[in-house]
Amino acid sequence: MTRNEFPRHELPPPTTKRWVARRKAAVVAAVLAGVITVEEACRRYQLSEEEFLAWQRAFEAHGFSGLRTTRIQSYRRLSC
In tens, the pLDDT along 7-35 reads 777 899 999 999 999 999 999 999 999 99
| Total number of residues shown for the chain | 80
What is the distance between the alpha carbons of residues 63 and 48, in angstroms, rounded to a whole number? 21
What is the reported pLDDT for 10?
A: 85
Q: Is the pLDDT of residue 50 over 80?
A: yes
What is the reported pLDDT for 23?
A: 95
What is the reported pLDDT for 69?
A: 74
- Helix 21-32 to helix 49-62 angle, to the nearest 10 degrees? 100
Q: Is the pLDDT of residue 1 over 90?
A: no
What is the reported pLDDT for 73?
A: 54
